[in-house]
Amino acid sequence: MTLSSRIRRTASLAALSAVVGSAALAGGAQAATIGQPTVHGPGERIPINFAGYKEPANKRLPKNFRMVKVRVEVARGEKASTTLTAPKGFRIVTIGLGDGHQIGAVVNDRDYPGKRSVSVNLWANSNLVEKGETGTGTVYLLARRA
């Protein structure tokens, strides 16, 4: 290898590093924010209508049931995934979405009722969330004592 080819190679590597470094500093895709799950017990108000579950008339969580609530923020065009887990000794009845339909979700395993955890894919609703914006929402899991 001659001296001039060695200098050209070094210069091209330096230029490539500068381009890659500036792209990284400019900010890439925003990562989804998935909050800590909170568990709600008997007597708590049920905020949504869960599919496949008939809520009591007083809209309060009965004994032997728990509700897990997770706040989610997903940028438009981004795909995220999380695992929802029922408390120990409880099994999943159903899941639900709340807060204005800015996020969408689908479960990977359609036979999740009766299991303790389920993997959920999340995305921002492109009809309601503008380009460059972030969709926010809440994912709920309803569980019953096993």
pTM for the complete prediction? Answer: 0.77
Interior/surface letters 23-56, b for 16+ CB within 10 angstroms, e for the rest: eeeeeeeeebebeebeebeeeeebeeebeeeeee
Each residue's pLDDT tens digit, 34-68: 999 999 999 999 999 998 899 999 999 999 999 99
Q: How far are the Cα atoms of 4, 7, 11, 115 from residue 15, in angstroms, in the given order?
A: 16, 12, 6, 53
User: Does 18 score more than 50 pLDDT?
Assistant: no
Q: How far are the Cα atoms of 5, 13, 20, 84, 141 from residue 9, in angstroms, in the given order?
A: 6, 6, 16, 50, 56
Each residue's pLDDT tens digit, 78-95: 999 999 999 999 999 999
Confidence bin at 31 (pLDDT 50/70/90): confident
